[in-house]
Amino acid sequence: MTDHELEEFERQLRQTKPARLPETFTARLLAAEPEPSAQVVSEPVAPAFPDYLRTLRLSLRWLIPATAMAVAVMMAWHGSLPSARRLPGAGATPATMKADDVKIDQRMVSSFDAVARLPGGEPVRFRCESWVDQITLSDKSRGLVVENSRPRLEVVPVGFETY
């Protein structure tokens, strides 16, 4: 069939109308008419809040996220500053301290020998010496004295033939 024949056939079909509604069904449909109150769907709805509260709500809707975003940006920016990269506790020691006197001291606290045996049964002797290393920095202009002490243990094996 050509398009023209199809259109002509469609026109002929349209001449046959759908059957009329049965009277009982027409009566049913007429009785089922929705109530007017149910038909009005798009009537303007009264606002639940006064105008100024509504404006405030709309403002807060954007203000709160904007504030949070601004704080986050400021924190990120502040974190990128050189002054913020100082190590924790670095602020306790003045960065401009200049030591005018440095003392390094080593004190032997104790010394003793320990005797043991190797797995082959050969005796071996260890000389154990306990030391304390101390460093003292002084800044007389600012009246600062910084002392740092650190214990140290030296163990030296000593052969019996050396005795």
Q: Should residue 14 be labelled a site residue for another protein when binding is judged by CB under 8 A?
A: yes
When binding is defined by CB under 8 A, the residue of 4, 13, 141, 163 that contacts another protein is 13
The answer to whether the beta carbons of residues 104 and 132 sit under 8 Å apart is: no
Q: How far is the CB of 9 from another protein (least distance, A)?
A: 6
| CB-count exposure of residue 29 (10 Å: 0-12, 13-18, 19+) | exposed
Report how far residue 53's alpha carbon sits from residue 61's, in angstroms, rounded to the nearest whole number. Answer: 12
When binding is defined by CB under 8 A, the residue of 2, 42, 80, 141 that contacts another protein is 42
Q: Should residue 4 be labelled a site residue for another protein when binding is judged by CB under 8 A?
A: no
When binding is defined by CB under 8 A, the residue of 2, 4, 23, 34 that contacts another protein is 34
The answer to whether the beta carbons of residues 97 and 132 sit under 8 Å apart is: no
Q: Should residue 87 be labelled a site residue for another protein when binding is judged by CB under 8 A?
A: no
| DSSP structure string for 29-73 | HHHTPPPHHHH--SPPPPPSS-HHHHHHHHHHHHHHHHHHHHHHH
Task: Build a one-symbol-per-residue string for 97-126: x at contacts with another protein by CB under 8 A, - elsewhere.
Answer: ------------------------------
* Nearest residue (CB) to another protein, 22 versus 151: 22
Q: Is 6 helix (H, G, I), strand (E, B) or coil?
A: helix
Binding site for another protein (CB under 8 A): 1, 5-6, 9-10, 12-14, 16-22, 25-26, 28-30, 32-34, 36, 38-42
